[in-house]
Amino acid sequence: MLRHTAACFAAGLALASAAPPASAQTLRFGLMEDSDALDPTLARTFASRMIFAALCDKLVDIGPDLKPVPQLATHWELSSDEKALTMHLRPGVTFHDGEPLDAAAAKYSIERHLKMPGSQRRGEIAPIDTVEVVDPLTFTIKLKQPFAPLLAQFTDRAGMMVSPKAAERLGDKFSTSPVCAGPYRFVERVPQDRIVVERFPAYWNKDQIQIQRIEFRPIPDSTVRLTNLRAGQLDLLERLAPTDVPQVSRDAKLKLGTTYELGFQEILFNTGREGSPVADARVRAAFDLAIDRNALNQVVFNGEFLPGNQWVSPKHPNYVKEYPLPKRDVAKAKALLAEAGQPKPQITLTVYANSEAPQVGQVIQAMTKEAGFDVRIQATDFTTALDAADKGNYEAYLYSWSGRPDPDGNTFSFLSCKAPLNYARYCSTEAEAALQAERGSVDAGTRQAAWKRLADRVLTDRPGIYLLHRKLLWAYGPKLTGFVPYPDGLVRFTGLKLN
Amino acid sequence: MLRFLAQRLTLAVPTLVLASMIIFALQQLLPGDTATALSGEERDPEVIAFIRQKYHLDQPLPVRYAYWAGGVLKGDLGESIRLQKPVSELVIEKLPVTLELACLAMLVALALGVPMGILSAVKRGTFADTLANGIALWGLSVPNFWLGILMILLFSVHLGWLPASGYVPPSESLVDNLKAMAMPAFVLGNAIAAVMMRHTRAAMLGVLGSDYVRTARAKGVAPLRLILRHALPNAAIPIITLGALEFGQLLSGAVLTEQIFSVPGFGKLMVDAVFNRDFATVQGVVICTAATYIALNLAADLLSAAVNPKLRRA
Do residues B141 and B46 share a domain? Answer: no
- pLDDT reported for residue A12: 39
The CATH number that applies at residue A322 is 3.10.105.10
> Do residues A93 and A125 share a domain?
yes
Looking at the structure, do residues B129 and B257 belong to the same domain, yes or no?
A: yes
Closest listed residue to residue B297, CA positions, set B244, B249, B256: B244
Task: Looking at the structure, tell me whether residues A443 and A326 fall in a common domain.
Answer: yes
Pair A162, A188 in one domain = no
Q: Cβ of A390 and B43 within 8 Å?
A: yes
**Residue ending a domain, choose from B62, B88, B114:** B88
Same domain, B189 and B304: yes
A7 with A156, same domain? no
Are residues B168 and B32 located together in one domain of the fold? Answer: no
Using CA atoms of A220, B195, B197, B310 in order, give the dihedral in degrees to the nearest 10.
Answer: -130
Asked if residue A115 is part of any domain, the answer here is: yes
Instruction: Decide if A415 is inside a domain.
Output: yes
- Residues A279-308, mean pLDDT to the nearest whole number: 95
Shared domain for A275 and A301, answered yes or no, is yes
DSSP A100: B
Q: What pLDDT shows up at residue B39?
A: 73
Q: How far apart are CA B278 and CA B272, in angstroms?
A: 8
Hey, is B173 helix, strand or coil? coil
Question: Alpha carbon A13 to chain centroid distance?
Answer: 45
Return the closest-CA partner of residue B266 out of B243, B286, B244, B292. B286
Q: Which of B54, B88, B122 is the last residue of a domain?
A: B88
Query: ipTM of this model?
Result: 0.72
- Per-residue pLDDT at A164: 97
Q: Are residues A195 and A256 in the same domain?
A: yes
B3 and B49 in a single domain? The answer is yes
How many residues are there in chain A? Answer: 499
Residue B164: pLDDT over 80:
yes
Name the domain count of chain B.
Answer: 2
In the predicted model, what is the mean pLDDT of residues A403-427?
Answer: 91
Q: Give kind and range of the element (H or E) at residue B299.
A: helix B279-307
Strand A396-401 and strand A346-352: the pairing is: parallel
Residues A422 and A490 in one domain: no
Please tell me whether residues B172 and B121 are part of one structural domain.
yes
What burial class does residue A97 get, using C-beta atoms within 10 Å of its C-beta: 0-12 exposed, 13-18 middle, 19+ buried?
middle
Same domain (yes/no): A38, A129: no
What are the tens digits of pLDDT across the range A146-159? 999 999 999 999 99
CB-based contact, B156 to chain A, within 8 Å: yes
Single out the residue in B88, B104, B128 at which a domain terminates: B88
Does residue A319 sit in helix, strand or coil? coil
Residue B107 sits in the same domain as residue B253: yes
Could you tell me which residue, A14 or A379, shows the higher pLDDT? A379
For residue A205, the one-letter residue type is N
d(CA B199, CA B92): 35
Query: What domain range includes position A194?
Result: 2-55+183-261+472-498
- pLDDT given for residue A314 in this prediction: 94
C-alpha A461/C-alpha A473 separation (Å) is 33
Q: Cβ B39–A44 below 8 Å, yes or no? A: yes
Say yes or no: B194 and B277 in one domain.
yes
- The yes-or-no verdict on residue A443 having pLDDT over 50 is yes
> Do residue B300 and residue B182 come from a single domain?
yes
Is B188 found in the same domain as B48?
A: no
The answer to whether A119 contacts B47, with C-beta atoms less than 8 Å apart, is yes
| CATH number assigned to the domain comprising residue B298 | 1.10.3720.10
Which residues of chain B neighbour A123 with C-beta distances below 8 Å? 42, 44
How does pLDDT run across B190-202, given as a tens digit for each residue?
888 998 898 889 9
Q: Which chain A residues have a beta carbon less than 8 Å from that of B45?
A: 420
Closest CA relative to residue B299, chosen from B236, B220, B241, B227: B241
Whether A21 shows a pLDDT value over 50: the answer reads: no
Residue span of the structural domain in which B115 resides: 93-311
Residue A172 domain-assigned (yes or no): no
Residue A229, CA atoms < 13 Å, CB-side half-sphere:
33
Q: B277 and A383: CB-CB below 8 Å?
A: yes
- A317 and A432 inside one domain: yes
Stretch among A160-164, A479-483, B97-101 having the lowest mean pLDDT = B97-101
Identify all chain A residues contacting B278, using CB atoms and an 8 Å cutoff: none
Strands, sheet with A464-469, edge to edge from the N-terminal-most edge strand: A306-307, A464-469, A264-269, A396-401, A346-352, A374-380
Q: Check whether A393 has a pLDDT greater than 50.
A: yes
* A238 strand-pairing partners: none
Nearest to B164 among A227, A383, A402 (CB): A227
Residues B53 and B112 both lie in one domain = no
Chain A CB contacts of B41 under 8 Å are: 44, 401-402, 421
Considering only residues A265 and B280, tell me which one the structure prediction assigns the higher pLDDT: A265
Taking residue B295's Cβ as centre, other Cβ atoms within 10 Å add up to: 11
**Are residues B137 and B188 both part of a single domain?**
yes
Q: Name the domain count of chain A.
A: 3
Q: Do residue B36 and residue A44 have CB atoms under 8 angstroms apart?
A: no
Instruction: Please check whether residues A206 and A155 belong to one and the same domain.
Output: no
